[in-house]
Amino acid sequence: MKSRWGELTSEFAELLPSARKWDGGKGFAPQDWARAEGNIQLAIAYSTIFWPTFIEYKDMVFLAPIQEANVDDWIREFDGQTVHVEEMVNHIHLFRLFQGPSITDKQLIYIGNTLRQIWSTKLATEFPKRSFKVEFDDQRGQNLDGYEITFFQFT
C-alpha cells in the first residue's frame, strides 16, 4: 500500500538512512516516518529552530534569546558596525544543533538550505520594511562544524 504522502525519493532515502531501515524497503514518505517515530515534544522543540523568535535590540534583529551584555560587547568589538554584530551574534553551527555520530555533510546542507529559505520568509514577514540576507555556505567538503547559518540586515 502506498503512503498517502507518496514514496520516498532517492534524495530523502540518502538523507534518512534510519527511515529506510524502519520501513524495510516497502516505500514510504518522510512524513510517515516522522509520524511513526517522532513525538509532539520534539516537534515543538524543532519548531523553535525552524520558525524562530526574532527580537529587536538597538535597531538590530537577533534570534531570541540574547544576552544584551554580549551584544554590547560585540558592538564595541566591531566599532558599532551593526551588520557585523548581527552576523556574529546570529550565527549558528548546524552540527552543534544536530550532533550525532552519523551526520553527513549532505544532511547539514539540506537543513541549512531549508533554514535559509524559512528564515528569509519569516524575517521578510515580520520586518517588511527591512532587508535581510540569510547566509549559508553549502559548499561540500568542509569540516562538519563549518556549516553555519546566519543573518543580518543590509541597506
> pLDDT for 78-116, tens place per residue?
999 999 999 999 999 999 888 777 898 899 999 999 999
Residues 6+ apart with CB under 8 A from 100: none
Predicted pLDDT of residue 18: 75
User: 10 Å Cβ neighbour count for 54?
Assistant: 16
Q: What pTM does this model have?
A: 0.85
Q: Which one-letter DSSP state was computed for residue 65?
A: P
Residue 126: CA atoms inside 13 Å, Cβ hemisphere, count?
A: 16
Low-confidence ranges of the chain (pLDDT < 70): 1-10, 20, 23-28
Instruction: Write out the H or E segment, with its range, that includes residue 107.
Output: helix 105-126
Residue 18: CA atoms inside 13 Å, Cβ hemisphere, count?
A: 11
Predicted pLDDT of residue 139: 85
Cell of residue 15, nine digits? 538523507
> Positive or negative, the Cα torsion across 134, 121, 51, 115?
negative
SS3 for 100?
Answer: coil
Predicted pLDDT of residue 152: 98
Predicted pLDDT of residue 47: 94
Integer Cα distance of 148 and 96 in angstroms: 10
- Under 8 Å between Cβ of 148 and 136: yes
Predicted pLDDT of residue 94: 93
